[in-house]
A and B are shown apart, each in its own frame.
Chain A
Amino acid sequence: MKTFSTIAVLSAALTLSACSGGLFDSNSRLGGTGANGVNGAGGSDISAGALAPNSVAYFDQTIGNTVLFAVDQSTLSPEARSVLTQQAAWLVANPSFTAVIEGHADEQGTRIYNLNLGSSRAAAVRDFLVSQGVSDARLQIVTYGKERPLALCSDEACYAKNRRSVTVIGAGAIS
């Protein structure tokens, strides 16, 4: 009954494939944005005195580079519009700078949905700044979804801080 019919030995064409070759191009741009980057914390030196109004530190700290959003929304609150109006005025007064607007979401939601939501938030900020006279060409948006939370707890106190956009002023001014 046991039929172990002999085994056809198939010469095993084992293709252990070679793998060399450049996966990583050392010249490629790696990582995300710069020092102010994805955490939204102002990276500039914090001196005690008043900041020069045309400094990036003034933009980040005195005006504020961050605005917050309601759950699952990308519409701008009155508070957000107030901050963004000042951001726009600064950008108009300092026309040599560019900005990357990061859109972020809290962790309630799937990764893919939050990428869309972060994009919508960043675009809402961009569109508002443009409506206030900032050239579209100086503004770029990027969504981080829920990839880079600012506050780490898993309740509303932290979620509220993570539903944000951060306007990151370009270190290099445009010529």
Chain B
Amino acid sequence: MMTRVLAILGLVCMSLWAGLAAAQSPLRIEIDNPNIEPLPFAVPEFIAETSGADQYAANLARVVASDLTGSGLFREIPQNAFISTLTNFDSPVQFSDWKAINAQALITGAVSTVGDGQIAVKFRVYDVFAEQELGGGLQFVGSIDGWRRMAHKVADAVYSRITGEGPYFDSRVTFVSETGPKNARQKRIGIMDYDGENTQFLTTDQSIVLAPRFSPDGNRVIYTSYETGEPQIYVLELGTVTRQRLAEQPGTMTFAPRFSPDGRSIVYSLTTGRNNDIFRMSLDGSAPQRLTNDPTIETAPSFSPDGSQIVFESDRSGTQQLYVMPAIGGEATRISFGQGRYSAPVWSPRGDLIAFTKQNRGRFHIGVMNADGSGERLLTASFLDESPTWAPNGRVLMFTRESPGEAGTSTLYSVDISGRNLRAIRPNASDPSWSPLLK
């Protein structure tokens, strides 16, 4: 019954950039190019430098390759095409062997046990055709249990050096795990690596739970549970797996909470039935403040990353549309004007875009628009897509896709903000929330 939750394992990264800033390099993916071709790379099995490290040597390379290909921006060259075999991390690279198979990037790595249940992972990235290293070597030391995280760190470094974008592979996602029939679905809050690995559960399936959201420091999850019989907000500490109810306002139901960027307050939806409005409360225990006061439905608030504004959904115009208001409440400005109904907005961690769910002509879409409402782009279309969440670098969205009918189920998908690279991440799951990059 007690779910054992591993808290985030600390991982120490020794950055040694060796004085090389990742300055403009010939090897570069222009990520916004609409005709982007995935960049071919090779990642040989890592070299085991101590006897206990053998089992990780191949697995580390596999996770690095999976991260990079999963981004949609890279294509792996199969190992059976390799001409060179690497046996020593410090030996010179035979660039001609890698050019011959058109590997534009080469990633080499080594792993060793360093005692005390820890391993050290080091790697280098090469621009094969320029015959030079791209960025400096880097090493991570961490617990053996966290070997996947070290692989994600390696892949993040490669991704960032070649695309110029921020990293996102070393991150987690909290979500709602769903089992059972559609009319009696059982739900639990789960947490997993961004790629679907290492799942743990944070609640039992005894009560309906909805929409978990990470705190900005990644240490807490705020969510909605029916354990009192009606929807109420709880905050759960991941380190200790203890939880506390928030926003206890008698005679009301509360849901759809999100943290402010400084983690000190939350915004949420409160309903008495007669009123559906947005409230904010500080986590220091002070009284909740009402931010909207309208007879219509105001719901689904999300802070801008600078904390100054809140985007939310309202049907005050007659249909659900998106509005932006000051974070302390006040006059709201409508930002969505296209056809259909807009809901569940969420501000990008970069601040530039707002992702949303749109219903139009019986279809659901995940889309993005600029924060002023201009430049709307729909990225997906299906029977039912909803609840987008942003990767820490603001380049990728994860969302819920539900299939129709009696046997319909929910699946987590991800998609690049270009609309490319739609991928299924996890079956029987909904309401994802992407963590910040792990520390």
A residues near B (Cβ < 8 Å) are 1-24, 28-33, 39, 100, 103, 107-113, 115-117, 119-120, 122-124, 126-127, 140-144, 147-150, 152-154
Contact between A153 and B406 (Cβ–Cβ < 8 Å)? yes
A-B pairs with lowest CB-CB distance, top 6: A123-B273, A17-B7, A4-B137, A154-B404, A7-B139, A30-B206
- In the bound complex, residues from chain B placing their C-beta under 8 Å from that of A13 are 10, 12
The A contact surface, by secondary structure, is: loop
- In the bound complex, residues from chain B placing their C-beta under 8 Å from that of A9 are 14, 114, 120, 139, 141
- In the bound complex, residues from chain A placing their C-beta under 8 Å from that of B90 are 4
Contact between A12 and B12 (Cβ–Cβ < 8 Å)? yes
B residues near A (Cβ < 8 Å) are 1-14, 16, 18-20, 90, 92, 114, 118, 120, 122, 124, 132-133, 136-137, 139, 141-143, 145-146, 181-185, 202-204, 206-208, 210-211, 226-231, 236, 239-243, 253, 255-256, 269, 271-274, 276, 297, 299-300, 313, 320, 343-344, 357, 359, 383-384, 386-387, 402, 404-406, 408, 430-431
**Shortest beta-carbon distance from B329 to chain A in Å:** 18
User: Please, how many angstroms separate the alpha-carbon atoms of A17 and B143 in the complex?
Assistant: 12
User: Please, how many angstroms separate the alpha-carbon atoms of A107 and B199 in the complex?
Assistant: 28
When C-beta atoms are compared, the residue in chain A nearest to B404 turns out to be: A154
Determine which of B8, B118, B203, B229 lies in contact with A33 in the assembled complex, contact meaning CB atoms within 8 Å: B229
User: Please, how many angstroms separate the alpha-carbon atoms of A29 and B210 in the complex?
Assistant: 17
**Shortest beta-carbon distance from A109 to chain B in Å:** 7
Contact between B133 and A2 (Cβ–Cβ < 8 Å)? yes
Contact between A3 and B343 (Cβ–Cβ < 8 Å)? no
Q: 10 new A-B pairs (CB below 8 Å) besides A7-B122, A9-B120, A110-B300?
A: A3-B19, A23-B203, A32-B226, A110-B357, A117-B297, A127-B274, A143-B230, A147-B208, A147-B210, A150-B183
**Shortest beta-carbon distance from A100 to chain B in Å:** 8
**Shortest beta-carbon distance from B403 to chain A in Å:** 9
User: Please, how many angstroms separate the alpha-carbon atoms of A159 and B151 in the complex?
Assistant: 47
User: Please, how many angstroms separate the alpha-carbon atoms of A75 and B132 in the complex?
Assistant: 70
- In the bound complex, residues from chain A placing their C-beta under 8 Å from that of B210 are 111, 115, 147
**Shortest beta-carbon distance from A39 to chain B in Å:** 6
Contact between B6 and A16 (Cβ–Cβ < 8 Å)? yes
**Shortest beta-carbon distance from A116 to chain B in Å:** 4
Contact between A4 and B14 (Cβ–Cβ < 8 Å)? no
Contact between B5 and A19 (Cβ–Cβ < 8 Å)? yes
**Shortest beta-carbon distance from A69 to chain B in Å:** 14
Contact between A111 and B387 (Cβ–Cβ < 8 Å)? yes
When C-beta atoms are compared, the residue in chain A nearest to B319 turns out to be: A72
Contact between B313 and A113 (Cβ–Cβ < 8 Å)? yes
Determine which of B142, B226, B383 lies in contact with A154 in the assembled complex, contact meaning CB atoms within 8 Å: B383
Contact between A16 and B120 (Cβ–Cβ < 8 Å)? no
- In the bound complex, residues from chain A placing their C-beta under 8 Å from that of B10 are 12-16
Contact between A8 and B14 (Cβ–Cβ < 8 Å)? yes
Contact between B16 and A112 (Cβ–Cβ < 8 Å)? no
Contact between B206 and A116 (Cβ–Cβ < 8 Å)? no
Contact between B211 and A14 (Cβ–Cβ < 8 Å)? no
User: Please, how many angstroms separate the alpha-carbon atoms of A152 and B240 in the complex?
Assistant: 39
- In the bound complex, residues from chain A placing their C-beta under 8 Å from that of B430 are 111
